Amino acid sequence: MSCLASEALTAKYACLACHQPAQKSVGPSWQQIAEKSRADGKTAAQLAASIRSGGSGRWGSMPMPPQPQVPDTDLQALAAWILAYDR
């Protein structure tokens, strides 16, 4: 999946409402997520599961809502793109 296609998915599923490329907003930036996930040894499948289920406490007090509406193929593509993020 190309970078542009993955960026299109972040727009399609409103990820950009809470996440930005390089700076924290409501949630952590793509860069922060990528660096922490890689340091923790997370796989794309594990990151996808975190996105799917949502959660709280990983990045502060703001919880991430679950994302059940995102199809598995798009979820896997987003997770792989986030893990590879480096700008």
* The predicted structure's pLDDT at residue 79: 95
pLDDT digits (tens, 9 = 90+) for 10-60: 999 999 999 999 999 999 999 999 999 999 999 999 999 999 999 998 888
Question: What DSSP string runs through 44-69?
Answer: HHHHHHHHHH-BSSSSSSPPBPP-TT
Q: How many angstroms separate the CA atoms of 37 and 39, rounded? A: 5
**CA of 73: how far to CAs of 13, 44, 80, in Å?**
13, 12, 11
pLDDT digits (tens, 9 = 90+) for 64-73: 999 999 999 9
Give me the amino acid identity at 54.
Answer: G
Written as six digits, the tokens of 58 are 């990983």
Give me the amino acid identity at 25.
Answer: S
The answer, yes or no, to whether residue 78 has pLDDT greater than 70, is yes
All structural domains of the chain: 3-84 (1.10.760.10)
Please give the model's pTM, rounded to 2 decimal places.
0.88
The answer, yes or no, to whether residue 4 has pLDDT greater than 70, is no
